[in-house]
Amino acid sequence: MEKINAAYIKTIYQKDDYIVAVYKSENVGKNITVTGYNLPEIRNLSINFEGDYVKNKYGTSFNATSFEIEKPLNLKGFSTYMSSLKCGIGDKISEKIFKKYGKEVWNVLDNEPERLLEIKGVTQNKLDKILIKLKNTKVIREIMAVFNGFINLSLKKAEKIASEFGPNASIILKNNPYELIKVKGIGFSTIDQIGKTLHADLANPLRIKGATFCILAMVEAKGSVCIPKPILIRELMNLLNKDLKSNVVDELKINDVLYDMVQNNDIAFEHIDENKILVYDINSYYAECSIAMHIRKIKNGNHEMLETSNVLKYLNEYSSLNNFQLADCQRNAVIKSLLSPMVIITGGPGVGKTTIEKAILYVFERVAKNRNVLLLAPTGRAARRMSEQTGYSAQTIHSALGYSCDDDGEEFMQTSNLEADLIIIDEVSMMDQFIAAKLLKAIPSTCRVIFVGDPDQLPSVSAGNVLRDMIDSERIDVAKLDVVFRQSEESVIVKNSQKINSGDTHLVYSKKFIHCYRDNNEEIFEKASNFYVNCVKAYGIDNVVLLTPWRNKGTLCVNEFNKHLHERLNSKKSDELTVNINNVEFRIGDKVMQTKNTDSAKNGDTGYIIDICLGNDENGEFTTLVKIEFNGDGNIIDYTKDDMNNIVHAYASTIHKSQGSEYKIVILIMALEQRFSLRRNLLYTGVTRATDIVALCGQKSAVDYAISNKQPDKRVTYLKQRLKKALYKTKTAKEETTYEQFGF
């Protein structure tokens, strides 16, 4: 291991967290290429690197395994260092601090930080930020040192670890590296490598416990909320004994650890019968239990009785005013929704779910005067569509519950009290078990609840199958709409969606339902791209979407289409200010999407970059700002480079991301290279996003394969059975208190 001291000059290559940069080395006496993860790209600061010289395509370079920024002893360096902390201290205040304390400034910061309050412009809030940043910097350095030689830990992950475990993070991880399972993005094999080095006992209970959390996390990532105990044990033995000559970890040892984890409230067992046990992560368990308990609370609540005669009177009035007659199933759906405490309205495209919602709202306003109505949807796009179609204000479930985000993007709930007498929740198929649990807990027992959704669409991205389980439980009233509206009877999109849903591969093609079948991926890519560009020119970019199953796999993924369409529709202009994030260039006019919930924008929101300029961020620091207007409603948000990590181009999107949205034209990619993802509900969801035109681009055999593959995502849940029991069993006060402890 060698050491060098150097100052940053320029970056010559970057991919994700990996950086290749040129530094001026003081002890070597020349410029040197340094490679590594999250190298500091800050001028005017001296950096101490540890690593080794290696030969690669950059010639002889220095591969840095760790680094530490020296505390500068001059004004310029001090100002730069404080700016790098992003704690709200700009050049002017830095200058005041340095002039007052000089080279003793670091002694002041380390030992007498309260003296900074003597400086005009340094508030208690800014001082707290400085101290937190300085403390985190120290903790992050210690964390990086723990991992040195094991993994190339990114700065972002180190910051997440510091946030998760606090100032004693390095000590905690040395004692039990398997705690890292709590941090997303670090796999078990990596953690196990560290664990095996620090703890020689391969049958260590901490190792078994860490592996258990890992498998349960993978279970949830695939949509399930639990796993049968025999399968869990089998997976644990495979994982823990991998590459070993013998089974060091046997079933007996695993069982001992699992029962200890149950006693410690880390996991939960659901005993189905003597021979069958389901194993849950404790949070998943209480979320599922909570859903059943709160559905029971609402169904058995003290609801205002509405006169049937009045409901019928105003329902007839609604039909008369709109000059059409509701079908029997539609009338029954309205009546059932207003006379029952909880109803699920289901149906495919063209059956008039929106008409039913409008009818319910019309009647309820007249039979239950001065009552609060709340319209909710899982995503911003779905909420806006709900508002446009009903004429009533709608919001996301997250917004209604008061969800916010901290600096790391982690969500938390500010309030859970909803004041409403009637709540209609649209696109319920997208609702996972955790948000369902939080929502149902927030609904008063006196409130009527109407769930609206299509169970044949894709289930939620996150764990659970809430809509399907609620329907299959047969404990909640279901109003199924199975009559297509007159204006939709001739819609080839509706006809083909019904064919897809029934497993019929003989689709009807027309000018409104086009097939662009090609044999190879290159031809598919070219045809789909050309069709997209032509449609955008004819109908406008907001009315057209290109959908494909995969985001970053293969030649026909979202990322590849976005890269290509970006250049064709918004090519770079000379002398144009742009921003490069992870080798993706963003320009003024780009169509973009938010990929993570923040206080300003929600996951899935789309908008346009309206300006890229130099300005001051929220801390007063001079930086490049990207201005994005979302949803065309004048909501303009300033993004720094760091914020842009949550932004992607949105010319193309995944089918999953399109749920809750509608477009005039949908170009749908169906290719055999994606066969592992091709299912009937995936194709059905993609097709039903279109109102006017669908273009299937791909291979005919891939479309047929998807239609024939009825097998849904295998999701293991127990909610259906739990709902069956919940409505016949009174929960004890002890049980309800337990649920409250876990936020459900």
Question: How far is CA 268 from its chain centroid?
Answer: 25
- Per-residue pLDDT reduced to its tens digit, 178-192: 888 877 777 788 788
Query: Which residues partner with 13 through β-bridges?
Result: 20
733 band by pLDDT with thresholds 50, 70 and 90:
very low
- Nearest-angstrom CA–CA distance, 66 and 144: 7
What tokens were used for 457?
A: 């669409």
> Rounded to 10 degrees, what is the CA torsion of 673, 458, 647, 437?
-140
pTM above 0.95, yes or no: no
pLDDT at 196: 77
pLDDT at 592: 92
Report in angstroms the alpha-carbon separations of 329 from 4, 48, 96, 478, 594: 77, 73, 74, 11, 39
Q: How large is the greatest C-alpha to C-alpha distance in the chain, in angstroms?
A: 92
- Per-residue pLDDT reduced to its tens digit, 29-53: 788 898 887 777 777 778 888 888 8
pLDDT beyond 80 at 370: no
Report in angstroms the alpha-carbon separations of 151 from 66, 187, 190, 385, 654: 11, 11, 7, 46, 32
pLDDT beyond 90 at 605: no
152 band by pLDDT with thresholds 50, 70 and 90:
low
In a 3-state reduction of DSSP, which class is residue 284? helix
Say if CB 689 and CB 666 are below 8 A apart: yes
Mean pLDDT of 452-475: 92
pLDDT at 485: 67
Lowest mean pLDDT segment, chosen from 104-113, 301-310, 393-402: 104-113
pLDDT at 187: 78
Handedness of CA 548, 553, 557, 558 (dihedral sign): positive
* pLDDT > 90 fraction of the chain, expressed in percent and rounded: 41
742 band by pLDDT with thresholds 50, 70 and 90:
very low
pLDDT at 662: 87
pLDDT at 730: 46
Lowest mean pLDDT segment, chosen from 9-13, 167-171, 265-269, 292-296: 167-171
CA triple 82-83-87, angle to 5 deg: 75
Strands (E), 597-724: 606-616, 622-630, 635-639, 647-649, 652-654, 663-670, 690-698
pLDDT at 619: 56
- Nearest-angstrom CA–CA distance, 273 and 271: 5
Residue 63 has phi, psi (to 5 degrees) of -90, 105
The amino acid at 337: S
Lowest mean pLDDT segment, chosen from 362-366, 634-638, 673-677: 634-638
What tokens were used for 479?
A: 């109003």
416 band by pLDDT with thresholds 50, 70 and 90:
low
> What phi-psi label fits residue 474: left (phi over 0), alpha (psi between -120 and 50 degrees) or beta?
left
- Per-residue pLDDT reduced to its tens digit, 282-299: 999 999 999 999 999 999
Per-residue HEC secondary structure of 38-73 comes to CCCCCCCCEEEEEEEEEEECCEEEEEEEEEEECCCC
- Per-residue pLDDT reduced to its tens digit, 208-234: 999 999 999 999 988 999 999 999 999
pLDDT at 693: 94
Say if CB 367 and CB 314 are below 8 A apart: yes
Mean pLDDT of 666-689: 92
> What mean pLDDT value characterizes the chain?
85
- Nearest-angstrom CA–CA distance, 487 and 324: 12
pLDDT beyond 90 at 82: no
Mean pLDDT of 606-620: 78
Closest CA to 191 of 159, 151, 164, 160: 151
739 band by pLDDT with thresholds 50, 70 and 90:
very low
Comparing 139 with 264, the larger pLDDT belongs to: 264
151 band by pLDDT with thresholds 50, 70 and 90:
low
pLDDT beyond 80 at 274: no
Say if CB 532 and CB 667 are below 8 A apart: yes
pLDDT at 735: 46
pLDDT at 622: 63
pLDDT beyond 60 at 149: no
